[in-house]
Amino acid sequence: MPSWKGQSRGNVLGYKIFVFALKYLGLFFAYFILLFVAFYFFLFSRKSSKFTYRYFRHILKYSWLKTKWNIYRNYYTFGQVLLDKFAILGGLKGKFTYNFDGEHHLRSMVEDNTGGIIVNAHIGNFEIAGQLLERLNSRINVLMLDAEHQKIKNLVSNVLVNKDVNIIPIQSDYSHIIPISDALINKELIAMAGDRFIQEGKVFEVDFMGEKALFPSGPFYLAARFGVPVTFAFAMKESKTHYHFYATAPEVVKRYKNPEEQEQELEKFVVKYVKEFERILKMYPLQWFNYYQFWKTK
Amino acid sequence: MENKEIISKVNDFLIDEFELEEDQLIPTASLKETLEIDSLDYVDLVVIIERNFGFKVKGEDFATIKSLQDFYDYIISRANSN
């Protein structure tokens, strides 16, 4: 079963180079260095390139040459997104501009004190959404699946300056359930990815970009269990320093006593999420950052 | 609450809420691997414990609970300390 195995792209040295370049050389010089770093990954990171090759060549049906060119551009864009994340988390928000579609939906979740789950994906720059949303004056919790990369997390926490963003790392002993429960009982917002799952998680098989892929039911189950609404949100990079934020109207996932009815309700929401995910990805095909076997093999 | 009563209450909600059979509830059974209680079931577990025994589970407590016996022991010690 294709599932995310827990590795994040890049290593600690790579992140340190990024942080150093950002701190001492500035964002645009860091982008310049990135041209070469991306080329290195293009040449030597065959495993992840294999997966992006499948995405561009078989899912998007690009020509061979266009596929190769876009694999390189994809690494470059991913690097830019990482640099932007560090820059924004490190307090350089002023360098960036944003526009928001659907911010009022999130604002209503905060003002009506419903709390809720913001379901995003590994496209664009979903980690910065919490930072962008600080103007909502609400604490945002971000559930991170790649918590076992503790060294990287430590590095990230060093540049985190916004105390309104609380990172909840997923733990193998499931202890993350407690802060999630607490946040949802307190009607806070939690951002979590709806496109990755761990091996033992419950999933639905759904058509995505023309082929079958597995998506977790977890975010929607939590929404049903705690009676909070869900919204689908994505932060996409549109130019060197501009991001476009999208959020859908919040919807309530019904809770049923009957397990079959509950499954149907969860599947309905997974399909809704996948449709929105697909719509956004088609607008920004280069910002696909799932470097593993995402689609089911035939 | 007597230990036996606690164990019986735990078994009851495991059977009712998680569709487990009575003969699966062996003290050495692993919650994750044998009883197949996944992360979303843990959400329910936390809520049910609070409702039935009146205490709140702490995140760090999860690290010590691997088997059903660990789970009984944990509930007994927390229920008796309240």
B4-45 residue pLDDT tens: 888 999 999 899 888 888 889 999 999 888 888 888 888 888
- CA B80 vs. chain centroid, Å, equals 15
For an interface test with B, the pick among A177, A184, A200 (most B C-beta atoms closer than 10 Å) comes out as A177
Chain A residues touching B44 at Cβ < 8 A: 225
**Degrees (nearest 5) of the Cα angle A277, A219, A208?**
30
* DSSP element (H, E) containing B80: helix B68-81
**HSE toward the beta carbon, residue B50, CA cutoff 13 A:** 12
pLDDT tier, A48 (very low <50, low <70, confident <90, very high otherwise): confident
Residue-wise pLDDT for A177-234, tens only, equals 889 999 998 999 998 989 987 666 789 999 999 999 999 999 999 999 999 999 999 9
pLDDT of residue A266: 96
What percentage of chain A exceeds 90 in pLDDT? Answer: 48
Give residue ranges of A with CB < 8 Å to any B CB.
171, 173-181, 198, 200-202, 217-218, 221-222, 225
- How far apart CA A15 and CA B54 sit, in angstroms, is 45
Least confident of A7-16, A84-93, A166-175, B73-82: A7-16
For residue A198, the chain B residues in CB contact (below 8 A) are: 39
| Segment among A13-22, A201-210, A250-259 with least mean pLDDT | A13-22
A200: its two tokens: 């033992």
Residue A226 CA to chain centroid, in angstroms? Answer: 22
For residue B38, give the nearest of A176, A202, A222 by CB distance: A202
Cβ separation A173–B63 shorter than 8 A: yes
Count of Cβ atoms closer than 10 Å to residue A90 Cβ: 15
Q: Where are the domains of chain B?
A: 3-81
Kindly indicate the confidence band of residue A145, based on its pLDDT and cuts at 50, 70 and 90. Answer: low
pLDDT beyond 90 at A171:
no
* Contact at CB, B46 and A176, closer than 8 angstroms: no
Average pLDDT over residues B40-61: 86
CB A37 within 8 A of CB A79: yes
Chain A residues in contact with B39 by the CB 8 A cut-off are 174, 176-177, 198, 200-201, 218
Q: How confident is the model at residue A91 (pLDDT cuts 50, 70, 90)?
A: low
Predicted confidence band of residue A137 (pLDDT cuts 50, 70, 90):
confident
- Across A119-123, A129-133, A171-175, least confident range: A129-133
Nearest chain B alpha carbon to A168: B59
CB within 8 Å: B40 and A202: yes
Mean model confidence pLDDT for chain A: 84
**How many C-beta atoms lie closer than 10 Å to residue A254's C-beta?**
15
Q: B3-81 — its CATH code?
A: 1.10.1200.10
Q: Give chain A's domains with CATH numbers.
A: 12-283 (3.40.1130)
Categorize the per-residue pLDDT at B57 as very low, low, confident or very high, splitting at 50, 70 and 90. confident
Amino acid A4: pLDDT: 47
Which one has a higher pLDDT value, A252 or A134?
A: A252
Q: What is the pTM of this model?
A: 0.85
Would you state the pLDDT for residue A149?
45
CA pair distance B44, A163, nearest whole angstrom: 29
Say if the Cβ atoms of A200 and B44 lie within 8 Å. Answer: no
Task: Say which range, A111-125, A191-205, A268-282, has the weakest mean pLDDT.
Answer: A191-205
Q: Please tell me the predicted confidence (pLDDT) of residue A64.
A: 96
SS (H, E, C) chain A: CCCCCCCCCCCHHHHHHHHHHHHHHCHHHHHHHHHHHHHHHHHHCHHHHHHHHHHHHHHCCCCHHHHHHHHHHHHHHHHHHHHHHHHHHCCCHHHCEEEEECHHHHHHHHHCCCCEEEEECCECCHHHHHHHHHHHCCCEEEEECCCCCHHHHHHHHHHCCCCCEEEEECCCCCCCHHHHHHHHHCCCEEEEECCCCCCCCCEEEEEECCEEEEEECHHHHHHHHHCCEEEEEEEEEEECCEEEEEECCCEECCCCCCHHHHHHHHHHHHHHHHHHHHHHHHHCCCCECCCCCCECCC
B33: contact with A, CB 8 A cutoff: no
User: What number of helices (H) and strands (E) belong to chain B?
Assistant: 3, 0
- Check CB contact of B18 with chain A, cutoff 8 Å: no
SS3 B29: coil
Residue B5 contacts A where some CB pair is shorter than 8 Å? no
Q: Is B74 on the interface with A (CB under 8 A)?
A: no
Q: Which pLDDT score is estimated for A130?
A: 61
